[in-house]
Amino acid sequence: MSGVPISVGYIPLVDAAPLIIAREIGFAEEEGLALTLNAAPSWSTLRDQLMLGRLEAAHMLFPMPIAAALGLGGFNTRIDILQILSHNGNSIGVSRALADRMRSQGYGFDFADARAAGEALIAGAAGRLRIGVPFPFSMHAELLYHWLGAIGLSAPQDLDVHTVPPPLMAEALAADEIDVFCVGAPWGSIAVENRVGEMLLPGTAIRANAPEKVLAVRHDWAEAEPGLTRRLMRAVWQAGRWLGHERNLLTAAELLARRDYLDLPPELIERTLTGNLVISPRGEMRSVPGYMSFQTGAAGYPWASQGALVAARLATRLGLSREEAMASARAICRTDLYTRNLADLGADLPEARDKIEGALTAPGAIPAIQGQVILPSDAFFDGWIFDPFANS
């Protein structure tokens, strides 16, 4: 492989696909990069490697750079969000014992109605719920807290929340350490395949379109290496566009399945990419359009308002200044670099940096730098919206 060496860290999840595809299909090489991908065992390890300069970039949970901007996590290093790698892709699952209690009380596991699922979960709980999430600052946690809070649980006060690395989530369920999990694909499916759990909801049932993973770099690196930043962004964006074509999904599943990456059966990965999921050891199937997406309606654009939303939630829970938190989060969402580096590739480029989050109950058009962009629905199941200016 020829080109300028660049090292990017990732967690073995299906939503690392844009990085893997950028390397394997050749988009990185076309941009003059020799892309090395380094798997990390946990999100905290990945964060530390990036902050200490052992990686140039990382596949990262959307709230992680925001938490760092708020001074959370032990490092005083600014991490910038260059672009969104993926939307959605999470599933909420329960132990077999909890699933059996829920079924005995009449719940049908429709995999769609978040309110009904939450009420059935609370009714079936045998005491205080123990919930596994991959990292405290994650969309997994944000989705859970919003969902359970909307149906009456004061999250996280009414919950026992445990940090469990994604590859260990099924083991934690089997060992009776947790009752519920929210995790990225394919680890919800692994719990089903191992017959230790059942999937209760996709993340899309809580919010129709939520940012999930990002391409993150240290701010000082992006400033010192504008050329490499541009090349990396372009390679990854083109990989996301390639993943947006259904005809490429089988090839993508086979590439991700390799021992060097996820080391899992390709058919398991293909289920995630197509949204055709097996939700229980009984073989029950559910189809979820948009279960995971890479290139739909300005999907890669790092909206400042999305950063502000997460920052406001973190600040409220942790007793920080909401105004300062939101301003810090908006600053690291690099819409300027996104527009500058991707305009000539045909990327959707919204005119604004902010939008009202959760306001679209159906696809809608917004002004773009050229013409308009059609955005998908981003509604929350309970109708909640976040106006970044009204909430500042």
Q: pLDDT at position 1, please?
A: 65
User: Whole-angstrom Cα distance, residue 130 to residue 218?
Assistant: 34
Contact 360, 385 (CB under 8 A): no
Q: pLDDT tens digits, residue range 114-161?
A: 999 999 999 999 889 999 999 999 999 999 999 999 998 876 678 899
Q: Comparing C-alpha atoms, which of 167, 194, 204, 222 is closest to residue 278? A: 194
Polymer length of the chain = 392
Asked whether the predicted pLDDT for residue 307 surpasses 60, the reply is: yes
Contact 203, 188 (CB under 8 A): no
Q: pLDDT at position 127, please?
A: 86
Residue 147 dihedral angles phi and psi, to the nearest 5°:
-60, -55
User: Whole-angstrom Cα distance, residue 317 to residue 52?
Assistant: 28
Chain mean pLDDT for the chain = 95
Tell me the pairing of strands 4-10 and 33-39: parallel
Enter the DSSP assignment of 200: E
Mean pLDDT value across residues 202-220 = 98
Asked whether the predicted pLDDT for residue 388 surpasses 80, the reply is: yes
Asked whether the predicted pLDDT for residue 7 surpasses 70, the reply is: yes
Q: pLDDT at position 391, please?
A: 56
User: Whole-angstrom Cα distance, residue 349 to residue 291?
Assistant: 23
In the numeric block, the tokens 């379109």 are attached to 209
Q: pLDDT at position 289, please?
A: 93
With a pLDDT cut of 90, the percent of the chain lying above it is 93
Q: What is the distance in angstroms between the CA of the first residue and the CA of the last residue of the chain? A: 48
The helix-helix angle for 322-332 and 304-318 (nearest 10°) equals: 150
User: Whole-angstrom Cα distance, residue 55 to residue 53?
Assistant: 5
Mean pLDDT value across residues 8-14 = 97
Mean pLDDT value across residues 194-215 = 97
Q: pLDDT at position 295, please?
A: 84
> Residue 167, preceding bond cis, omega within 30 degrees?
no
With a pLDDT cut of 70, the percent of the chain lying above it is 99
Q: pLDDT tens digits, residue range 230-285?
A: 999 999 999 999 999 999 999 999 999 999 999 999 999 999 999 999 999 999 99
Specify burial of residue 306 (Cβ count, 10 A radius: 0-12, 13-18, 19+). Answer: buried
- pTM of the shown model: 0.95
Collect all residues with Cβ–Cβ distance below 8 Å to 224 and sequence separation of at least 6: none
Mean pLDDT value across residues 68-91 = 93
CA-based diameter of the chain, in Å?
A: 60
Asked whether the predicted pLDDT for residue 2 surpasses 90, the reply is: no
User: Whole-angstrom Cα distance, residue 90 to residue 94?
Assistant: 14
User: Whole-angstrom Cα distance, residue 374 to residue 209?
Assistant: 13
Asked whether the predicted pLDDT for residue 392 surpasses 60, the reply is: no
Q: pLDDT at position 389, please?
A: 86
